[in-house]
Amino acid sequence: VTCTRCSTGYLGVDGKSCSEGCSGDTRGACTEVVEESTSAKILSCECVCRPTFYNSSGTCTPCTDSCAVCKDSTSTGCQQCSPGKILSFSIASSESADCVSQCSVGSECAECGITIDGSRYCTRCKDSAMYPFNGVCFAGAQEDPYCTSKANGVCTTCSSGAFLMNGGCYTTEHYPGSTICDKQSGGKCTTTKEGYGISADEKLLECDPTCLACTAPGPGRCTRCPSDKLLKRASGAATGSCVDPNACVDGYHADGDACLACATPGCKTCGHASFCTECAGELFVSLDGQSCLGEYSGDKVVGEVSSGVRRCWCERGFYSHGPRVSRVNPPPRSCVKTGTSQACSTPVTGSPSSPQSV
């Protein structure tokens, strides 16, 4: 974990941030430890080599050219290339060889269909016997450990050791698959990394910057948001936009980590999806809170404005009466005179001298 300062709730070493004291080709890295005397969680910090360097006997030494991240103790074991370059893998060893030029349509690749972190990757090979493995055309063996079914230069089914994406097989252990997929199962990515999604037809989706996961690029297609945001969705929709909690207003209400639309047409504020507490414009909230009315109507029903909210109320001496058997299409509520046989035995709470609402 790269740290620029200690997380909330943690103590820094000697009160310093995790990056203090690191200079040159080093950066701060954090390790969680528990202090024995107080049982407090402390982020113990140490200086490690920056991504483009590796530790050679205690000295940070540059990786080979075009390598963005290389393994410790070697300059050639590249784990991620700089933009414009991609890793060349050996399926036999599952280890990277070196950084090669990014995809271009030519002798091996027919389509360079995806770009990840500034580098193009192959999505269809020219030779029908080949397929993209980690974005590079590979001539699979008769019993390929990753692609179990291929045709026309693409893989159509990957084994459980990889996941299918844009016609190729990728692994979560190696870049670029490791930056896209967090968990894989049955040849598919089941959980994507933050900022990415994979469509139903196994195509890579780069989410809107506000999303953690999505079903398609662009706004309004988020399926998961950061913890400080709400997923704002229209009624019945599976996707939406990530918004601040204070933006969940005007026809929407907060429900857990979601911002859901009020079900009542014309409703401005609702306690839950089907119960309206304030209608938009000149509309009145009905007695049961289930609808917004252009004008109040009904026996003994009056319309009044209270605290800026237009509501239907019962005349003085009457109260709203009627069962709420369901939140979905409940029977309309009516006004019943107090003290009659039709009234509930329990009086409605409120001042008897003022109109009463539900």
Q: If you write DSSP's letter for every residue of 117-129 in order, what string do you get?
A: TTEEE-SEESSTT
**How far are the Cα atoms of 113, 241, 244, 248 from residue 229, in angstroms, in the given order?**
32, 9, 5, 10
Do 88 and 187 fall into the same domain? Answer: yes
Do 17 and 112 fall into the same domain? Answer: no
Do 194 and 216 fall into the same domain? Answer: no
pLDDT: is 113 or 31 the higher one?
113
Angle, CA of 199, 202 and 208, to the nearest 5°? 35
Do 166 and 87 fall into the same domain? Answer: yes
How many residues comprise the chain?
358
Do 98 and 138 fall into the same domain? Answer: yes
The answer to the question of residue 57 being in a domain is: no
Residue 128: pLDDT over 50: yes
Percentage of the chain beyond pLDDT 90 is 22
What gap in Å lies between CA 123 and CA 137, rounded to an integer?
A: 9
Domain membership of residue 31 as a residue range: 13-50
Neighbouring CB atoms inside 10 A of 349's CB total 7
Tell me what the mean pLDDT of segment 54-61 comes to: 75
The answer to the question of residue 270 being in a domain is: no
Amino acid found at 271: G
Query: Among 247, 195, 201, which Cα is nearest to 223's?
Result: 195
What gap in Å lies between CA 26 and CA 23, rounded to an integer?
A: 6
Do 153 and 89 fall into the same domain? Answer: yes
Residue 49 pLDDT class (50, 70, 90 cuts):
confident
- Centroid of chain to Cα 56: 39
The answer to the question of residue 355 being in a domain is: no
Backbone angles phi, psi at 14, to 5 degrees: 55, 30
Q: Are strands 130-133 and 95-101 parallel, antiparallel or unpaired?
A: unpaired
The answer to the question of residue 78 being in a domain is: no
What gap in Å lies between CA 288 and CA 311, rounded to an integer?
A: 10
Q: What is the pLDDT of residue 164?
A: 97
Q: What is the pLDDT of residue 320?
A: 64
Do 127 and 179 fall into the same domain? Answer: yes
pTM here is: 0.54
User: Which of 198, 215, 245 is the last residue before a domain boundary?
Assistant: 198
Do 137 and 104 fall into the same domain? Answer: yes
Neighbouring CB atoms inside 10 A of 89's CB total 19
Do 172 and 249 fall into the same domain? Answer: no
What gap in Å lies between CA 48 and CA 3, rounded to an integer?
A: 11
Q: What is the pLDDT of residue 43?
A: 57
pLDDT: is 342 or 180 the higher one?
180
The answer to the question of residue 239 being in a domain is: yes
The answer to the question of residue 156 being in a domain is: yes
Q: What domain count does the chain have?
A: 4
**How far are the Cα atoms of 144, 200, 249 from residue 150, in angstroms, in the given order?**
10, 19, 50
